[in-house]
Amino acid sequence: MRVPGDKSISHRAVMLAAIAEGTTHIRGFLEGEDTRATARVFTQLGVRIEAPNDGERIVHGVGLHGLQGTPASLDCGNAGTGMRLLAGLLAAQAFDSTLVGDESLSKRPMGRVIDPLAAMGAQVDSAPGGLPPLRIHGGARLRGVETATPVASAQVKSALLLAGLYADGETVVREPHPTRDYTERMLAAFGWPVEFAPGIARLPGGHRLSAIDIDVPADFSSAAFFIVAATLVPGSEVRLEAVGMNPRRTGLLAALRAMGADIREENRQEQGGEPVADLVVRHAPLRGIDVPVEIVPDMIDEFPILFVAAACAQGRTVVRGAAELRVKESDRIATMAAGLRALGIAIEEAPDGAVIEGGRLAGGVVESHGDHRIAMSFAVAAQLAGGDVRINDVANVATSFPGFDTLARAAGMSLRE
Check residue 104 for interaction with ligand S3P (CB under 6 A).
no
Q: Which residues contact 299 (CB under 8 A, 6 or more apart)?
A: 249, 250, 251, 252, 254, 255, 306
Identify whether 204 is preceded by a cis peptide bond (ω within 30 of 0).
Answer: no
**Dist. CA 128–CA 131, nearest whole Å:** 6
**Dist. CA 220–CA 240, nearest whole Å:** 10
Q: Residue 14 carries which side chain, given as an amino acid letter?
A: V
Interface pick for ligand S3P out of 38, 126, 155, 383 (rule CB under 6 A): 155
User: Do the Cβ atoms of 132 and 87 come closer than 8 Å?
Assistant: no
Interface pick for ligand S3P out of 35, 149, 158, 396 (rule CB under 6 A): 158
Check residue 81 for interaction with ligand S3P (CB under 6 A).
yes
**Dist. CA 30–CA 178, nearest whole Å:** 25
Q: Is 107 marked as a binding-site residue?
A: no
Q: Smallest distance from the beta carbon of 371 to ligand S3P, in angstroms?
A: 11
Q: Smallest distance from the beta carbon of 322 to ligand S3P, in angstroms?
A: 11
Q: Smallest distance from the beta carbon of 76 to ligand S3P, in angstroms?
A: 13
Could you list the beta-strand ranges (E) of 252-352: 262-271, 274-282, 316-319, 347-350
Q: Smallest distance from the beta carbon of 180 to ligand S3P, in angstroms?
A: 6
Candidate ranges 149-157, 223-231, 236-244, 387-395; the one touching ligand S3P (CB under 6 A):
149-157
Stretch 3-32 residues interacting with ligand S3P (CB under 6 A): 8
Candidate ranges 116-124, 152-160, 264-272, 384-392; the one touching ligand S3P (CB under 6 A):
152-160
Q: Is 108 marked as a binding-site residue?
A: yes
Check residue 331 for interaction with ligand S3P (CB under 6 A).
no
Q: Which residues contact 337 (CB under 8 A, 6 or more apart)?
A: 347, 349, 354
Q: Smallest distance from the beta carbon of 62 to ligand S3P, in angstroms?
A: 23
Q: Which residue is nearest to ligand S3P (CB)?
A: 8
Q: Is 222 marked as a binding-site residue?
A: no
Q: How far is CA 222 from the centre of its chain?
A: 10
Stretch 272-301 residues interacting with ligand S3P (CB under 6 A): 300-301
Strand 213-215 to 21-27 pairing:
parallel
Q: Smallest distance from the beta carbon of 81 to ligand S3P, in angstroms?
A: 4
Catalytic residue among 301, 371, 393, 405: 301
Judged on CB neighbours under 10 Å (0-12, 13-18, 19+), 237 is: exposed
Q: Is 248 marked as a binding-site residue?
A: no
User: Do the Cβ atoms of 313 and 358 come closer than 8 Å?
Assistant: yes
Secondary structure letter of residue 144 according to DSSP: -
Check residue 194 for interaction with ligand S3P (CB under 6 A).
no
Candidate ranges 153-161, 255-263, 340-348, 374-382; the one touching ligand S3P (CB under 6 A):
153-161
Q: Is 301 a catalytic residue?
A: yes
Check residue 154 for interaction with ligand S3P (CB under 6 A).
yes
**Dist. CA 332–CA 368, nearest whole Å:** 9
Site residues, ligand S3P (CB under 6 A): 8, 81, 153-155, 158, 180, 300-301, 324
Catalytic residue numbers read: 301
- Could you tell me which residues are annotated as the binding site for phosphoenolpyruvate? 7, 80, 108, 155, 332, 373
